[in-house]
């Protein structure tokens, strides 16, 4: 009988963001669901062995055994080991960029700038700060109410983390969780997308020889393997992908009381105000819409431009879009399935009256989808309601910022929003009214590469947090340790329960504010008398 989560690898916009299981020495492997040619029917790829779904539970057990020993390694030593990933990453920059280009179709420059360089900063940030971030913190205790007692909070590792990542940034996205999760003392079973399994294997190879066996395992495969991983008794599932798949994972985990960190879809808007630097706004919006062929949860998929500058902004954005070189500035889309979704959204918008100003759908079957700009009048089209995840930029003319804010907030998605204006004080005021997890002023999208900045969303964009100390809320759990050094033979609240204890409790309530001034003074006298009787066992 097929698991109800087994279909999750085939749903949603970035569809191959699902779960795959790892390979243990000697376990059975089979031919898998992996694309064997580059996007657009290009050069052949190396074969990838799929992990059998039935082996996943054993793999998780191996990870659990390895994690117990890994968590005992001092955090400073863990940081020293993982710091070696930075050098390997930079030394293999050209190899990584070339592989991502072959596997996903993105330009070499984008692969280097998005998948390699920011992750060097990521390793630096986490390895240099993790000791402080995991350091114990004291809890203040009233010495009169709790004499001789001190308390401290420690961040403990979750245990075994299931990490399920997509194909659109197949190196950067997993590293943003792998590095802090491992530093925090977790073991990780990592399932890369079946669309980009070779990139996933390369990511894992960056840690080879730095970690004890079993602390990091790679699970290669499709939806059945992913479902098996979710159901294999892990302690946390970190998932980046489609809303549909994220909901299935959330349900499966809820039944097992397993926490999740879900980063799902986006329908990001850019709000272009009349007082913006028009050239910067046009260039920033065009890049934000078409980088990675629009295959980013933070792609600009809606532009709301104030009427006063709409014509000039649209003219400039269209001109800049027409300058983009196919295969150089904008690569091919990664999957035929996603290209079909983009085509469907575009056709529906045109049928509803949208005007194509640049680009348009390519010939049927082509993944070379031209950057496309439309002027859209009606909001009730999939192009403005659903995640498109492709190189299409719809522009809507609005009366003012109020209308732009209202339309932006009406979406079920709320990942990032950009505001384009010269009036920074006004921009900050408007930012406070946006539902988005991330707001950028006069820029867009790149903050996912900042390791100290939280990347998170609202609504159907999920509730997960990547990067920054806030990510540790999912990757660790708090443990409170109380140390009692009191020499008293018993506590006031211990047995036996006596009239003196009852009088003491109610006198404390009045003394702490449950009565007026004179009542509180009288309560203090009663408190002293009751305390004396209690100390003598009455």
Domain boundaries, given as residue ranges, for the chain: 6-28+49-264+470-478, 268-451, 490-535
Helix axes 499-509 and 517-535, enclosed angle (nearest 10): 150
DSSP alpha helix (H) spans, 361-400: 382-385
Q: Which two tokens stand for residue 11?
A: 């749903």
Q: Which of 132, 97, 99 is nearest to 111 (CA)?
A: 97
| pLDDT tens sequence across 67-106 | 999 999 999 999 999 999 999 999 999 999 999 999 999 9
Q: Is the pLDDT of residue 9 over 60?
A: no
Please report how many Cα atoms fall inside a 13 Å half-sphere around the Cα of residue 210, on the Cβ side.
Answer: 21
- pTM as predicted: 0.92
Q: Is the pLDDT of residue 27 over 70?
A: no
Mean pLDDT of 480-492: 93
Higher pLDDT, 30 or 198: 198
Between the CA of residue 61 and those of 55, 68, 192, 238, what are the distances in Å? 10, 11, 20, 18
Q: Which of 389, 382, 355 is nearest to 268 (CA)?
A: 389
Mean pLDDT of 13-21: 38
Please report how many Cα atoms fall inside a 13 Å half-sphere around the Cα of residue 163, on the Cβ side.
Answer: 33
Residue pair 437/457 in contact by the 8 Å Cβ criterion: yes
Residue 218 backbone phi and psi in degrees, to 5: -110, 130
Residue pair 275/421 in contact by the 8 Å Cβ criterion: yes
Give the contacts of 146 (CB within 8 A, at least 6 positions apart): none
Q: Which of 287-296, 404-413, 415-424, 520-529 has the lowest mean pLDDT?
A: 520-529
Q: Give me the architecture of the 268-451 domain, per CATH.
A: 3-Layer(aba) Sandwich (3.40)
DSSP alpha helix (H) spans, 36-116: 56-72, 75-82, 84-91, 93-104, 108-111
Q: What's residue 535's pLDDT?
A: 80
Instruction: pLDDT band for 19, please (50, 70, 90 cuts).
Output: very low
Q: What's residue 24's pLDDT?
A: 33
Mean pLDDT of 167-171: 98
Residues that are catalytic: 263, 297
- H-run or E-run covering 504: helix 499-509
Residue pair 204/229 in contact by the 8 Å Cβ criterion: no
Report the mean per-residue pLDDT for the chain: 93
| pLDDT tens sequence across 194-252 | 999 999 999 999 999 999 999 999 999 999 999 999 999 999 999 999 999 999 999 99
Q: Is the pLDDT of residue 341 over 50?
A: yes
Q: Is the pLDDT of residue 29 over 50?
A: no
Instruction: pLDDT band for 32, please (50, 70, 90 cuts).
Output: low
Instruction: pLDDT band for 2, please (50, 70, 90 cuts).
Output: very low
Residue pair 396/304 in contact by the 8 Å Cβ criterion: yes
Residue 228 backbone phi and psi in degrees, to 5: -65, -40
Residue pair 245/9 in contact by the 8 Å Cβ criterion: yes
Residue found by looking up tokens 């920059």 in the block? 93
| pLDDT tens sequence across 245-289 | 999 999 999 999 999 999 999 999 999 999 999 999 999 999 999
| pLDDT tens sequence across 342-396 | 999 999 999 999 999 999 999 999 999 999 999 999 899 999 999 999 999 999 9
Instruction: pLDDT band for 296, please (50, 70, 90 cuts).
Output: very high
d(CA 356, CA 359): 7
- 5-30 in b/e form (b: 16+ CB < 10 A) is bbbbbbbbbbbbbbbbbbbbeebeee
Residue found by looking up tokens 């020889």 in the block? 209
Q: What's residue 38's pLDDT?
A: 87
Residue 398 backbone phi and psi in degrees, to 5: -120, 160
Instruction: pLDDT band for 42, please (50, 70, 90 cuts).
Output: confident
Residue pair 267/413 in contact by the 8 Å Cβ criterion: yes
Q: What's residue 144's pLDDT?
A: 83
CATH class of 6-28+49-264+470-478: alpha beta
């Amino acid at each position: 009988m097929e698991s109800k989560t087994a279909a999750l690898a085939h749903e949603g916009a970035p569809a191959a963001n699902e779960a795959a299981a790892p390979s243990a020495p000697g376990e059975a492997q089979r031919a898998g669901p992996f694309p064997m040619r580059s996007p657009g029917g290009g050069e052949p790829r190396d074969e990838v062995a799929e992990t059998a779904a039935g082996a996943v539970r054993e793999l998780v057990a191996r990870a659990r055994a390895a994690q117990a020993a890994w968590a005992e390694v001092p955090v400073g030593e863990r940081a020293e080991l993982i710091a070696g990933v930075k050098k390997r990453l930079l030394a293999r920059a050209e190899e990584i960029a070339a592989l991502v280009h072959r596997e996903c179709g993105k330009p070499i420059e984008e692969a280097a700038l998005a998948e390699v360089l920011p992750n060097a900063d990521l390793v630096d940030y986490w390895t240099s700060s993790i000791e402080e971030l995991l350091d114990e913190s004291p809890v203040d205790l009233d010495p009169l109410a709790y004499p001789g007692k001190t308390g401290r909070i420690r961040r403990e590792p979750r245990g075994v983390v299931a990490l399920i990542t997509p194909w659109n940034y197949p190196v950067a996205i997993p590293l943003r969780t792998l590095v802090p999760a491992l530093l925090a003392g977790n073991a990780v079973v990592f399932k890369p997308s079946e669309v980009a399994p070779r990139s996933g294997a390369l990511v894992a190879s960056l840690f080879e020889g730095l970690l004890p066996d079993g602390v990091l395992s790679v699970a290669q495969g499709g939806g059945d393997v992913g479902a098996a991983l979710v159901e294999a008794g892990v302690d946390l599932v970190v998932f980046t992908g489609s809303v549909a798949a994220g909901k299935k994972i959330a349900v499966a985990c809820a039944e097992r009381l397993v926490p999740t960190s879900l980063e799902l879809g986006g329908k990001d808007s850019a709000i272009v105000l009349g007082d913006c630097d028009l050239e910067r706004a046009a260039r920033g919006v065009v890049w934000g819409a078409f980088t990675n062929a629009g295959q980013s949860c933070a792609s600009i998929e809606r532009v709301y431009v104030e009427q006063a500058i709409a014509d000039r902004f649209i003219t400039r954005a269209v001109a800049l879009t027409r300058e983009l070189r196919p295969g150089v500035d904008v690569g091919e889309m990664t999957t035929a399935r996603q290209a079909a979704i983009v085509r469907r959204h575009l056709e529906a918008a045109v049928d509803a009256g949208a005007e194509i100003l640049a680009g348009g759908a390519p010939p049927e079957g082509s993944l070379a989808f031209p950057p496309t700009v439309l002027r859209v009048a009606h909001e009730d089209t999939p192009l403005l309601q659903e995640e498109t995840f492709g190189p299409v930029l719809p522009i809507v003319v609005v009366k003012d910022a109020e209308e732009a804010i209202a339309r932006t907030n009406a979406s079920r998605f709320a990942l990032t929003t950009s505001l384009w204006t010269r009036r920074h004080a006004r921009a900050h005021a408007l930012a406070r009214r946006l539902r988005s997890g991330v707001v950028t002023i006069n820029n867009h999208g790149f903050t996912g590469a900042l390791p100290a900045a939280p990347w998170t969303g609202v609504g159907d964009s999920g509730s997960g947090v990547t990067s920054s100390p806030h990510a540790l809320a999912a990757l660790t759990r708090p443990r409170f340790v109380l140390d009692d050094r009191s020499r008293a033979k018993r506590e006031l609240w211990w047995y036996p329960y006596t009239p003196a204890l009852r009088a003491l409790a109610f006198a404390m309530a009045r003394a702490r504010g449950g009565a007026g001034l004179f009542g509180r003074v009288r309560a203090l006298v009663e408190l002293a008398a009751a305390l004396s009787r209690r100390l003598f066992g009455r």
